[in-house]
């Protein structure tokens, strides 16, 4: 196990723990580097960085940006960003601004399918209304007893063609990558194994991503099997991309990998964090 984790979430977006709690939990694995990557917002970074410093753990400011590429939603992780850089801050705000209206439409869609009160129910799980997400709806659907677990929620609801799914236009791929690079960070395609794309489409995504200035891809990742990891290590090698590693942890008990560690990258990989040394926030002393 590598003790590096460059992709996880706090309550600032759709995680269940505060930035301090998630760093405290990650610290139990004695990681050598962490990055918090909340969806479309950077509001948890200062608290997370302070918590990491208390544990003596090096930290990178991160974000996971929702992007639309063709008819696909893809997520782009940004590492080593300056969260105060204006174009990034304004861009992320523009994404957040679309979430509340989308959530109302999701609530209406679920109501039409016979499950009332989901918008209000989801909002009770969400600290920050502009960050309302499918995860908050899923937690409400499980907690209210309508669906037995998170996996089943996304299988039966909230995904294309199912009740509660509302198509949405996120940032363009070029904007998402441009904001990250403009804020001094490096961009990585998040969890490529989760996209419904064959080899040809993945290669086209990589080429468009690189044309926009993207240089990384997640190889070791909470939602990748070992086969996925080796497959994307080969994609990274073929295209000269740096490899990233992250758990994509959201909440205790919601499945997936726990926070603070990832699989070791296959030896052919070039780890992205070696390129980010200058962006690492190190504990004083
Ligand atoms: P949103 O940004 O509102 O579309 O919500 C996307 C979030 O839903 C992702 O970041 C995941 O946290 C969660 N999610 C999506 N698909 C699944 C799934 N199959 N199982 C569990 N969580 C999922
Ligand atoms: Mn999420
Ligand atoms: Mn994601
Ligand atoms: Mn994520």
Indicate which residue's Cα is closest to atom 14 of ligand 1.
Answer: 135
Q: How many CB atoms lie within 10 A of CB 49?
A: 21
Q: Which of 14, 40, 99, 151 to mutate to test the pocket of ligand 1 (most atoms within 8 A of CB)?
A: 14
Q: Which of the listed residues 133, 248, 250 should we mutate to test ligand 1's pocket, taking the one with most ligand atoms within 8 A of CB?
A: 133
Long-range contacts of 193-201 (CB under 8 A, 24+ apart): 193/221, 193/223, 193/224, 193/225, 193/228, 193/231, 193/232, 194/223, 195/72, 195/74, 196/72, 197/72
Query: Which residues surround ligand 1 with Cβ inside 6 Å?
Result: 14, 39, 66, 133-135, 150-151, 154, 250
**Which residue carries 């850089």 as its tokens?**
85
- The per-residue pLDDT for 1 is 52
CB 132 within 8 A of CB 123: yes
Closest residue by Cα to atom 12, ligand 1, is: 135
Q: Which ligand is nearest to the CA of 73?
A: 1
Q: Which pLDDT does position 284 carry in this prediction?
A: 79
For atom 13 of ligand 1, which residue has the closest CA? 135
What is the Cα gyration radius of the chain? 18
What burial class does residue 2 get, using C-beta atoms within 10 Å of its C-beta: 0-12 exposed, 13-18 middle, 19+ buried? middle
User: What is the per-residue pLDDT for 283?
Assistant: 84
pLDDT at position 16 is 98
pLDDT in tens, the chain (285 residues): 569 999 999 999 999 999 999 999 999 999 999 999 999 999 999 999 999 999 999 999 999 999 999 999 999 999 999 999 999 999 999 999 999 999 999 999 999 999 999 999 999 999 999 999 999 999 999 999 999 999 999 999 999 999 999 999 999 999 999 999 999 999 999 999 999 899 999 999 999 999 999 999 999 999 999 999 999 999 999 999 999 999 999 999 998 899 999 999 999 999 999 999 999 999 876
pTM of the complete model beyond 0.75: yes
């Amino acid at each position: 196990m590598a003790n590096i984790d460059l992709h996880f979430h706090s309550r600032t977006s759709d995680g269940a723990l505060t930035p301090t709690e998630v760093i405290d939990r990650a610290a139990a694995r004695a990681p050598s580097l962490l990055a918090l990557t909340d969806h479309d917002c950077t509001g948890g970074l200062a608290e997370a960085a302070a918590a990491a410093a208390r544990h003596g753990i090096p930290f990178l400011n991160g974000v996971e940006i929702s992007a639309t590429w063709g008819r696909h939603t893809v997520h782009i992780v940004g590492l080593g960003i300056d969260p105060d850089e204006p174009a990034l801050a304004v861009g992320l705000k523009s994404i957040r601004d679309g979430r509340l209206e989308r959530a109302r439409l999701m609530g209406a869609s679920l109501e039409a399918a016979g499950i009332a009160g989901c918008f209000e129910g989801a909002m009770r799980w969400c600290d920050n209304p502009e960050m309302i997400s499918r995860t908050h709806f899923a937690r409400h659907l499980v907690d209210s007893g309508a669906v037995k677990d998170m996996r089943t929620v996304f299988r039966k609801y909230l995904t294309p063609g199912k009740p509660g799914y509302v198509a949405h236009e996120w940032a363009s791929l070029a904007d998402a990558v441009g904001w990250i690079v403009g804020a001094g960070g490096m961009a990585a395609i998040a969890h490529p194994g989760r996209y419904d794309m064959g080899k040809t489409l993945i290669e086209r995504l990589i080429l468009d991503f690189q044309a926009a200035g993207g240089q990384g891809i997640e190889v070791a990742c909470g939602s990748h099997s070992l086969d996925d990891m080796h497959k994307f290590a080969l994609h990274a090698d073929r295209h000269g991309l740096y490899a990233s590693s992250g758990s994509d942890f959201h909440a205790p008990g919601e499945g997936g990998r726990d926070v603070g560690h990832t699989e070791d990258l296959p030896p052919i990989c070039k780890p992205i964090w070696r390129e980010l040394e200058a962006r690492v926030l190190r504990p004083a002393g």
